[in-house]
């Protein structure tokens, strides 16, 4: 006789528990689905740091573009609001209340393009202020006789016993203003405009039309993306954090100070990256990538245990005492100005479309081209002095500075950039070889042509050196570039030479009717000639 098998009690209990958990999950899913289907509520988590209460959730890009407004549109500023730029008019009445920096509308098109073209795009969460209608009505019932709020401007319904997860009222009765992330909002609004109208206007900082209109067809052609992909971007989600405009017990003035304080601290904590740091992090710009690689691989620049670092990775300038040779920002500019004549599509298009990251093979070709340039650069006598043990400050400093130096053009980032730009023109537009160019430059350098910028005998006097302020003139870079192109024998037209001579005379001007000659004498501007072409 076969006995019936009895299910062990523990197994039966486990099955019941699992079944109950499954039912609870299904019930929770149905409950959430019912609540989240409503457009007037958002599932959020309540947070608190210090005394600041906030609610964190996620919304679609389309919702953000439609529902969130700029902070300058807060009712507080309505009398001093410029509808053209969406900025607050600064005057004696608003300066103490101002909570936002002016919007820079020239950033909208690049940000919108970034979202449309980069598959790996990502924006940080946007911090917003949530305000109810009664907040701006002094006689509303939700203000007590001391003019303190009886409740928070954020209507939150908790779904758990601790009151940390729940639903936030985001109905049409509430207004939402971007506190941090205004330019992100601007970019998202630009993307929505592009998706819905097929066109995106480009503006300058003050929101005046600048340049041609970017069209949907431009993006599809430039970035090989499908229309369906662009349409789908509207439904992507971004993090959003809500701060109540008023919390229970606050007066309107106290609330305004609290919101202003939050904005100030958010912006103080967010340190703006330098151009060098941006070049260090940029993974899409071909010129930045090549500059970074040359900085860590080329013998002239890469770190060595036997010497001080030769590249400043952060700052755009080099101090007189600094032992670095150049900056990453200068290397990026050199890369762009030298290679840009060969790799034209690495630059933004005529319509301002942001270029995509070049293919690896093309980056290797660009790096090899830039390496050849630096190999020749390292052969110059001035740079050979570094290998012999001379420190950069001795070569960079002017004669009048403490520890008098050579005042060498090649040890100033602005000079390095001008040289790279000039050689880009001469190599890729004029067709000269690097070998023939540097044969001339080595001889010129050995004769002191790049040294003594602070003496009238130098071609760079008045061009990259200001004799009155006794410092470098960064604005003279373009003239220095043209002068190098001339020295290499690539400016032969009489008109071009005459224009260059006049520009050089103007740079060396001393007063109204005098200029400094190459002999160190005061002469009439028309008597200032051009230096001899290198042979």
Residues 352-365: tens digit of each pLDDT: 788 888 899 999 99
Q: Is the pLDDT of residue 417 over 90?
A: yes
The Cα–Cα gap between 296 and 292 comes to 7
Q: Is the pLDDT of residue 443 over 70?
A: yes
Say yes or no: 219 and 361 in one domain: no
The Cα–Cα gap between 256 and 169 comes to 21
The Cα–Cα gap between 354 and 361 comes to 20
Which residue bears the tokens 């902070």? 71
Answer with the residue of higher pLDDT: 449 or 319: 449
Sort residue 470 into left (φ over 0), alpha (ψ -120 to 50) or beta.
left
Q: Does some domain include residue 384?
A: no
The Cα–Cα gap between 415 and 479 comes to 11
Bridge partners of 53? 48
Q: Are 480 and 460 contacting, i.e. CB atoms less than 8 angstroms apart?
A: yes
The Cα–Cα gap between 20 and 28 comes to 12
Instruction: Give tens-digit pLDDT for 245-303.
Output: 999 999 988 888 888 778 767 766 666 667 777 677 677 889 999 999 999 999 999 98
Say yes or no: 205 and 140 in one domain: yes
Last residue of a domain, one of 325, 348, 378: 378
Bridge partners of 471? 466
Say yes or no: 51 and 172 in one domain: yes
Q: Which structural domain range is residue 56 located in?
A: 38-270
Say yes or no: 88 and 133 in one domain: yes
Q: Does some domain include residue 383?
A: no
Sign of CA dihedral 412, 413, 418, 423: positive
Q: Are 94 and 81 contacting, i.e. CB atoms less than 8 angstroms apart?
A: no
Tokens representing residue 471 in the block: 């410092």
Q: Is the pLDDT of residue 206 over 50?
A: yes
Residue 137 DSSP code: -
Instruction: Give tens-digit pLDDT for 507-528.
Output: 999 988 899 999 999 999 999 9
Say yes or no: 292 and 419 in one domain: no
The Cα–Cα gap between 249 and 375 comes to 70
Q: Are 131 and 178 contacting, i.e. CB atoms less than 8 angstroms apart?
A: no
Say yes or no: 399 and 288 in one domain: no
Instruction: Give tens-digit pLDDT for 491-505.
Output: 988 999 999 999 999
Q: Does some domain include residue 285?
A: yes
The Cα–Cα gap between 123 and 470 comes to 45
Last residue of a domain, one of 219, 245, 270: 270
Residue 448 DSSP code: T
Say yes or no: 163 and 261 in one domain: yes
**Three-state secondary structure call for residue 492:** coil
The Cα–Cα gap between 193 and 527 comes to 59
Say yes or no: 284 and 265 in one domain: no
CA 529 to chain centroid, in Å, comes to 42
Answer with the residue of higher pLDDT: 25 or 177: 177
Residue 56 DSSP code: E
Say yes or no: 191 and 290 in one domain: no
The Cα–Cα gap between 349 and 293 comes to 25
Say yes or no: 264 and 123 in one domain: yes
Q: Does some domain include residue 403?
A: yes
Pairing of strands 326-327, 311-312: parallel
Pairing of strands 126-132, 174-180: antiparallel
Say yes or no: 324 and 394 in one domain: no
Q: Are 394 and 406 contacting, i.e. CB atoms less than 8 angstroms apart?
A: yes
Last residue of a domain, one of 330, 355, 378: 378
Q: Is the pLDDT of residue 156 over 90?
A: yes
List all residues 6 or more positions away from 476 whose beta carbon is below 8 Å from its beta carbon: 414, 462, 463, 464, 507
Q: Does some domain include residue 3?
A: no
Distance from the first to the final alpha carbon of the chain: 116
Q: Are 220 and 139 contacting, i.e. CB atoms less than 8 angstroms apart?
A: no
pLDDT confidence tier of residue 99, bands split at 50, 70 and 90: very low
Q: How many domains does the chain have?
A: 4
Q: Does some domain include residue 1?
A: no
What average pLDDT does the chain have? 87
Question: Rounded to 10 degrees, what is the CA torsion of 150, 153, 155, 158?
Answer: -80
CA 363 to chain centroid, in Å, comes to 22
Say yes or no: 248 and 334 in one domain: no
Question: Rounded to 10 degrees, what is the CA torsion of 171, 174, 175, 179?
Answer: -100
Tokens representing residue 421 in the block: 């730009």
Tokens representing residue 370 in the block: 């830039």
Q: Does some domain include residue 91?
A: yes
The Cα–Cα gap between 305 and 533 comes to 41
List all residues 6 or more positions away from 25 whose beta carbon is below 8 Å from its beta carbon: none
The Cα–Cα gap between 46 and 156 comes to 9
The Cα–Cα gap between 355 and 232 comes to 22
């Amino acid at each position: 006789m076969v006995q019936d098998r009895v299910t062990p009690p523990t197994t039966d209990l486990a099955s019941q528990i699992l079944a109950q958990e499954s039912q609870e999950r299904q019930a929770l899913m149905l409950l959430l689905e019912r609540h989240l289907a409503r457009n007037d509520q958002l599932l959020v988590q309540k947070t608190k740091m210090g005394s600041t209460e906030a609610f964190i959730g996620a919304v679609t890009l389309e919702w953000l573009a439609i529902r969130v407004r700029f902070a300058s549109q807060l009712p507080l500023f309505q009398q001093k609001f410029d509808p053209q730029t969406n900025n607050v008019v600064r005057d004696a009445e608003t300066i103490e209340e101002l909570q936002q920096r002016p919007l820079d509308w020239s950033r909208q098109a690049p940000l919108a393009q970034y979202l449309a073209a980069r598959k790996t795009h990502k924006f940080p969460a946007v911090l917003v202020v949530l305000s109810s209608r009664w907040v701006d009505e002094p006689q509303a019932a939700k203000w007590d006789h001391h003019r303190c709020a009886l409740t928070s401007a954020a209507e939150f319904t908790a779904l758990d016993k601790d009151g940390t997860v729940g639903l936030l009222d985001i109905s049409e009765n509430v207004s939402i203003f971007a506190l941090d992330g205004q330019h992100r909002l601007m970019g998202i609004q630009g993307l929505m405009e592009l998706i819905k109208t097929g066109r995106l206007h480009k503006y300058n900082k003050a929101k005046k039309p600048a340049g041609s209109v970017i069209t949907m067809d431009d993006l599809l052609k430039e970035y090989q993306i499908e229309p369906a992909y662009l349409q789908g971007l509207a439904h992507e989600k971004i993090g959003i954090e809500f701060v109540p405009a008023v919390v229970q017990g606050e007066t309107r003035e106290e609330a305004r100070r609290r919101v202003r304080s939050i904005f100030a601290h958010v912006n103080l904590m967010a340190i703006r990256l330098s151009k060098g740091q941006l070049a260090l992090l940029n993974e899409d710009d071909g010129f930045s990538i090549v500059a970074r690689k040359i900085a860590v691989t080329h013998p002239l620049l890469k770190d060595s245990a036997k010497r001080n670092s030769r590249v400043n990775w952060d700052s755009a300038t080099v101090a007189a005492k600094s032992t670095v040779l150049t900056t990453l920002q200068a290397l990026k500019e050199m890369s762009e100005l030298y290679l840009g004549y060969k790799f034209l599509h690495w630059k933004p298009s005529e319509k301002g479309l942001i270029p995509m990251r070049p293919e690896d093979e093309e980056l290797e070709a660009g790096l090899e081209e830039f390496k050849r340039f630096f190999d020749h650069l390292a052969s110059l006598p001035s740079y050979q002095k570094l290998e012999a043990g001379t420190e950069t400050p001795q070569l960079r400093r002017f004669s009048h500075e403490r520890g008098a130096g050579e005042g060498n053009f090649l040890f100033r980032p602005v000079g390095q950039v001008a040289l790279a730009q000039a050689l880009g023109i001469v190599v890729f537009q004029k067709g000269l070889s690097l070998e023939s160019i540097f044969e001339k430059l080595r001889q010129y350098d050995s004769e002191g042509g790049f040294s003594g910028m602070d003496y009238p005998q130098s071609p760079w006097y008045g061009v990259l050196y200001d004799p009155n302020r006794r410092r470098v003139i960064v604005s003279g870079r373009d003239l220095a570039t043209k002068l190098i192109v001339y020295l290499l024998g690539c400016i032969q037209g009489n008109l071009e030479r005459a224009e260059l001579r006049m520009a050089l005379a103007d740079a060396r001007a001393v007063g109204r009717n005098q200029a400094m000659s190459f002999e160190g004498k005061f002469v009439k501007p028309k008597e200032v000639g051009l230096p001899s072409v290198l042979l």
